[in-house]
Structure formats: C-alpha cells, structure tokens
Structure 1
Amino acid sequence: MNVLVIGGAGRVGRRVVAELAEHSDHDITIADRVAPGGATAAFVELDLADDVALARALADADAVVNTAGPFDLWGAKVLDAAIEHGVDYIDVCDDPAATQELMKRDPAARAFGVRAVVGLGVSPGLTNYLGVIAARDLDEVDSVATFWGDSREGMDLDEATRHADALAASFTAGRAAYTHLILQTAAEVPVWRNGEPVNERAWRTAYRVRTSNGETGVYRVIGHPEPVTMPQAITLRNCVNIGTVNVGTDRLMLPVLDRVAAGELTPEEAIADIAARLTEHPEDLVSESRGPRLPRLIGAVATGTAGGREQGIIVFPGGPVDGSMSLETARPAVVGVLRIEQAPVGVHAPEGAFDADAFLEHYAAIYWDGGETFLKDVAGPTALTVEES
C-alpha cells in the first residue's frame, strides 16, 4: 500500500513516518513544504494552498495520513481531495469545530467508497475507545468524561518552583500545542448536556476523578472532539472532555483566559503572560495532596447505574502513554493505517471506525508487548465529581 503522510516533516508527521516504517512494509511518501533532514522515505514538495500540487501528491496514494494543522484551515480541504481521488484518509484532528466540519463529508465519502477516520490520535483516539469500554458496563449512562494530563496535586514549594520554571520555558518556546490550549480554554466549546449538544465556557468547571484506591486528579472542561462524536455511539446524558496542565497552573490561567475571551489578549500574548506568572509566582502551584496520582496520563470515566445502583467505571490504557506527545499522537494513527481496510466506508470518529477491543488489542500487541489492553476500575459513584474551582 502507498501511504502519503501530509505534514510528514513536522513533529507528529515524522513520528508517523518512522512508526509506519518500523511496523509495516508499506511504501511511504512524505508531503511537506520542506524535506526533513535525513529522511529515508520518498518526498514530494507540497503547499496545501496549491490545489494542483495536492492532487498530484494524492495521485498514487492508497491512503493519506493528514498531520498538518491547523485542521480548521486544512482538514476539510485535504479530506475533500482524498475523497475526490478515492484515497482512504486518517487524521489526528483535535479541534471540535473542525471535526464537525469533517464529519459533514460522510455522504461524499460513502459515494466515492472512501474510508475516513477523523481524530485518531491519543486524545481524541485512544480516549474514545476507553470511553466506550467504560460505558458498556452500565445499564444507564449519565456521563462520560475523557481526560488527560497530571494535575500534580501535592507539590511543595521546591517542587513547584522547579515545575513552574520548566513549564514557563515550555510556554515561552511557543509550541503550537499551547496556542491550541489557549484557543480551546478561552472560548465557548461544544459539550453534551442533558441529552443534547450545547456550548459552554471552557475551563470554568472542574471535575475530580477518583479510583477505588483513592488515586485522583482534577481536570477542567476543554474544547475537544470527544463530546462531539461519542454521543453518536453511546446513549448518554452528558459528555465532556477534561484536561489539566496542573492544578495550580489551571487556576492561574483563569484570569488570563478571561482576558482572551474579552478580546484583550491574543493567544500569543496570553502564553507570554502565563509564562511570566509562572516564573514570578511559583508558589501558586503549591497544593495539598488529595491522594496518589492516577496510574496513567489519559483515561475515561463513565457514571450511571448498574443493577439499580449508582456506579462509576474508570478505564485506563493497558500500557504507558507517557512518551512525547508527538509520538503518542502518531501511534494510534499508525494502527489506523494498518487496520484501514476494516473500517466502514464513510467518515467516522475513532469509535465508529474500529471495534474498541480489537483496536486496543492491535495497539497493545505493537506498543505494550502484547500486554493488557486496558485497566478497568469499578470506582463507585465518586468516580467523577464536580470540584470547587
């Protein structure tokens, strides 16, 4: 199979190329504006603004992996071109508005016999499958929350100072991930409330996830695709995605995000402001421990009833997902390429494209040495609770 990796010279794209080369015998072509140094795969120069160049790049492809953001700018354009050329499609889109736009291409993809999987990274992606597994043990599902990050409760001043300095340096470096973070925390974002889609201001509502062993973390609502797509696969009343930088930084960000929402700061100015606050006030990251940290950096929790009693189920990945974010994002997309012929025709979110158990079994075979596919905790009704902000 000929696989085209758009954005293959970028952080995630390079990882997709390397992982595909290691775990398949597919022919791989990198499509980007500039060739990556030391690349062993074929390369075609591509500016996504050039329709002719995009068509030329897709001409010999059987499947395309799109890692080129921002997806609100390029996602639909690449998917439209893939459909037109009969090329199967996978991306790692984590933008809820872009996801909604991409899903509108389902009728066209069905008409052209194209399989498309949108948002097949670590979150969304693995988190979607964990949410499906968490919900299936409940007779009635009240809420599903996918979550990511480590709230790092329990830092003393020395640890807080070290962490604040490192985090400020990361913010100052200006990675696109931080711009995305600001955009999806300073806005009205789509969530699922009381059985219907609504928009609500992100980062205001905080939730605590707690296992049966008392492992715990605090997370805040952030704009993400899971609440857009998962209610189509699971009958539930509420669905949110929640994340954290750490519990102290999450609180520190709130007034800055208010200024972004009011139009007083650009995302770039907000990033600089947050970095300065971290450097000047590391004591704001000091917090009391409320229990051990959760065993994985991502997971999903479902609450509802089982056997007539309130219940909460938390599901974590079977293996670690604590490598670089670019690597962890690339790996599910690679498994998606390996399984693409098993996906139904049309445009699908991860949970609609592949069976959750089968996908995680394939993932575990490659990346967790064939170990556990997921860890499930029957955590009770306090598995997910609203936290004082």
Structure 2
Amino acid sequence: MTSARIVLFGATGYTGRLTAEALLARGARPVLAGRDPDRLAALAASLPVELPTAVADVDRPAGVRRLVEPGTVLISTVGPFARWGEPAVTAAIEGGGVYLDSTGEPTFIRRVFQRYGPAAAAAGASLVTAFGHDYVPGNLAAELALREAGPDAVRVDVGYFLTGDMARRASAGTRASALGMILEPMYGFRQGRIRHEYGRTRVFEVDGRRRPGLSVGASEHFALPRTHAGLREVNVYLGWLGNLTRAAAALSRATPFVAAVPGARRLTEAAADRVVRAGRRGRPPVAAGPIVTQVVAEAYDGAGRRLAGVELHGGDPYEFTAAILAWGAVTAAGPDRPGAGALGPVEAFGVAALERGCAEAGLLVV
C-alpha cells in the first residue's frame, strides 16, 4: 500500500483507464479525475474496487489545482499535452506535489524542463515528464550503455523500434498528439547544448536487420547530460516509419516553412480536435497481432568508435506506459520520493530501481 495520495488526471481516456487498472494491481487506490462526471462514474463503476472521483477541467485551472496538496502524486494522461498539459504541471508546482505524465511531445517536454523546472525546484515539487514508453526505455538503455562505456563516451544514440500493427493500435490521443507535433520544431543535444534539428536520420542494426530512424526531441536530451558531464551529443531516433523514414525526414526539413503559412497551426489543431472527439465515441484501439518493442542505445567516443551498446525488449507500448506510470506513482508515494525540479527517469528513481520497475512492466535488457 502507498502512503501519499495518488490522483490520476485524465482517467477516462484510453491510457488513463489502463493506468487506473495498473494502479489497482499494485494495491493503490487513486482518485480518478477528469472533466466529465458521467464518464468518471462509469469508469469507477466498471472497476473491481470502488474508487473516489473528482471533476477537474483544464479550462478551469483552479479545479485542477485543488487536486494537489503537499506530497500528492499527480499522474496526467491529458493530451495533446502542448495544448492541455500545463494546468496539471502548475498545479503540482503550486501544491508541492510529485508530477508524472505520459507525454511523448517534444515541445511539451522541453517546456517542462526549461520553463517549469526552476519553479518546481524552488517550490520543492517534482516534475517527471515523458514517463512512459516515450521516453523511459531510452533513458534507461542509454544510462546502462554510458556506464558500460566509461568516461571516454561523448555521444549516445538511442533508437526506438516497434514491430506489429501500430497503425491500428494507436489511440486517439496518440494520433492527436502526432498531429500537434507536425509543425513544432524538433531538437537534439549537439556540441554540448540543445539545438534545433530537422530531418536527421540514421540506421541501426537491430536483430540482424538494418532499421532506419528519424530524429525526434525527447527527455534524453535534457536528462542524460546532467548525469554524464562528458556528453557532448545525444541523439534520439524513432524507427516506426520503416521505408517512409526518408519521406518523413524531407517533411520535417520543410516544417519551418509550412509553419509560417497563416492558418496552418489552426488547421492541425482542428484536425486534432476531431480525432479526440471521434476517439471518445469509438472503441478502444486493438492491433491485429502482438506488438514488440525494441530500444537500442549505443555509446561512442570522440573518434566515433562504438564503446558499448544496450538493447531492451518489451511488448505493447500502451501497456508498458500504464505499468511504469503505476510503478512510478506508487514508488513516489512511498518513502523514496523523487527530488525537486524537472527530472529525468534515472534522476528521479535511480538506475537500479528504474531497471527493476521496467522489468516489472515487461521491458527487459537482452
């Protein structure tokens, strides 16, 4: 059992429901929070244990703020995060709580680290963003690879790969977040600092196959250089697109010009809103077969020599996200609360504990 109060904001969404079930499996009794009281009541009634509910809407930040008191662990699965995620972050800071979220959106991740991190540190609050399939596995794999490589490592590359029918598996929230990211600037960590980046690609060797990846902004860029002072370059690649990677890279390079077109952002936001509304009416997404996750991290020295590599294998990314959020919340609600500020997964929980948590969530070092 946990000692601190856990609140799950966005509980009625797809990832929210999975997280509620994962929390129950760990013995936690979270408060289910969301904007629609009828959907909250229906969710609470469908679970094997009766849980309390609380109505809170991002359009009324004061209601979100009331969810958090000192020590509260607030999980947010309310996306797209770049549009709707900030009220939960500010609530956690003002309430002196611990914040975890399921975002994979580069713009929001950067905002949490750069805009809200200092305020959280001053208030004694903990912000652990992107604490799901995006981007816990890469942080762990990179940390293990860098430790094996030793002090000569100056660069680490991380690749995320999925095998299976993710087109059918993607939730409405994921699709809406992806639409919101189309016109947002990407970034990497190069020459010792965060830099804008568009359309960078590389090929990884995974299980004897050459798998291309497209660069993406992630939490690894902020977290890893703080635990490894000698790092000069951190690269994160998504390898979900296969043969479409080159076309996606070309589109990424055109992003600054497309974003400058009047009305372009309003169009993508309107499309994302339609996806979210359709998702609320539709059935949960189901893939035609099993989904396999493979995450690779490779450390290099200044001459470009590969010093170490680590590979993690797991299953369905949504199930992993729910399980690791539940693990993180229960851990943070106990005596091992994370420190203050915006933190990466290793900073928040330690590498040994994080590796155990990922293993319990089905992600293993191979």
**Range of TM-score over shorter length:** 0.7 to 0.9
> What is the SS of the residue equivalent to 1:197?
strand
CA shift in 2, pair 1:268/1:79, >3 Å: closer
Q: Does 1:237 align with 2:237?
A: no
- 1:33 is matched by which residue type in structure 2? R
CA shift in 2, pair 1:191/1:43, >3 Å: same
Q: Does 1:13 align with 2:10?
A: no
The TM-score normalised by the length of structure 2 is 0.76
Match of 2:147 in 1: 136
CA shift in 2, pair 1:270/1:214, >3 Å: farther
CA shift in 2, pair 1:102/1:373, >3 Å: same
Encode CA deviations 1:49-71: one digit per residue, 9 max, x unaligned. Answer: 11332233335972111111222
CA shift in 2, pair 1:193/1:113, >3 Å: closer
Q: Does 1:90 align with 2:122?
A: no
Match of 1:280 in 2: none
Of 295, 298, 313, which aligns to 1:298? 295
CA distance in 1, matches of 2:209, 2:88: 42
Match of 1:27 in 2: 29
> Given that residues 184 and 222 in structure 1 are in contact (C-alpha distance below 8 angstroms), is that contact kept between their aligned partners in structure 2?
no
Match of 1:194 in 2: 191
Match of 1:321 in 2: 314
CA distance in 2, matches of 1:68, 1:110: 23
Match of 2:174 in 1: 177
Q: What CA RMSD, in Å, does the superposition of the two structures yield over aligned residues?
A: 3.2
> Given that residues 95 and 225 in structure 1 are in contact (C-alpha distance below 8 angstroms), is that contact kept between their aligned partners in structure 2?
no
CA shift in 2, pair 1:98/1:241, >3 Å: same
> What is the SS of the residue equivalent to 1:224?
coil
CA distance in 1, matches of 2:130, 2:160: 15
Match of 1:147 in 2: 159
CA distance in 2, matches of 1:38, 1:270: 27
- 2:308 is matched by which residue type in structure 1? I
Shift of 1:185: 5.8
> What is the SS of the residue equivalent to 1:313?
strand
- 2:161 is matched by which residue type in structure 1? G
Encode CA deviations 1:55-114: one digit per residue, 9 max, x unaligned. Answer: 333359721111112222343321221222232221223223322322343443344333
Match of 1:123 in 2: 134
Encode CA deviations 1:220-273: one digit per residue, 9 max, x unaligned. Answer: 1123232233222222121111012332222344555566553376548999xx
Q: How many residues align?
A: 324
Hey, which bits of structure 1, 4+ residues long, moved more than 6 A?
268-271
- 2:9 is matched by which residue type in structure 1? I
> Given that residues 185 and 223 in structure 1 are in contact (C-alpha distance below 8 angstroms), is that contact kept between their aligned partners in structure 2?
no
Q: Does 1:47 align with 2:57?
A: yes
CA distance in 1, matches of 2:293, 2:188: 24
Percent of matched pairs sharing the same residue: 18
CA distance in 2, matches of 1:56, 1:242: 38
Higher mean C-alpha displacement, 335-344 vs 100-109? 100-109
- 2:56 is matched by which residue type in structure 1? L
CA shift in 2, pair 1:61/1:29, >3 Å: farther
Of 120, 125, 145, which aligns to 1:109? 120
- 1:66 is matched by which residue type in structure 2? S
Shift of 1:118: 2.0
Q: Does 1:358 align with 2:356?
A: no
Structure 2: runs of 5 or more not aligned: 273-291
CA distance in 2, matches of 1:57, 1:83: 12
CA distance in 2, matches of 1:258, 1:131: 27
CA distance in 2, matches of 1:179, 1:301: 31
Encode CA deviations 1:163-211: one digit per residue, 9 max, x unaligned. Answer: 7xx84x778xx8342343355465531111122221111xx22211126
Shift of 1:219: 0.7
The TM-score normalised by the length of structure 1 is 0.72
CA distance in 1, matches of 2:177, 2:26: 30
